[in-house]
Amino acid sequence: MNEHLIEHREATFFVQAAGDSMINAGIQEGTLLVVDRALEPRHNDIVIAVVDGELTVKRLEKRRGKVRLIAENPAYAPIEFKEGQELVVGGW
């Protein structure tokens, strides 16, 4: 299984999803996520991000110089970032 899922062994970790913000992307409470920090996150990727010291799973949106994290559940508002705010992202 590792041969098929892990390209960058030293940069890869597993995390278990909590909550329902990504339910429409098929990520439910308890889903095991494979995270490869060696991948460069791109527009529309699902990413693990650190926001205010907390890990979150969201879709990355980069448009017109602005960055937002979008939930795949309409009950959750997008997380918008302004210039000067720090966002740490690891793609998967």
Integer angstrom CA distances of residue 23 from 3, 61, 81: 27, 18, 23
Asked if residues 41 and 91 have their Cβ atoms less than 8 Å apart, the reply is yes
Letter for the amino acid at 41? P
Letter for the amino acid at 89? V
> Which of helix, strand or coil describes residue 59?
strand
Identify whether 58 is a catalytic site residue.
yes
Query: 21, 62, 66, 82: which one is catalytic?
Result: 21
Query: 58, 62, 66, 82: which one is catalytic?
Result: 58
The catalytic residue positions are: 21, 58
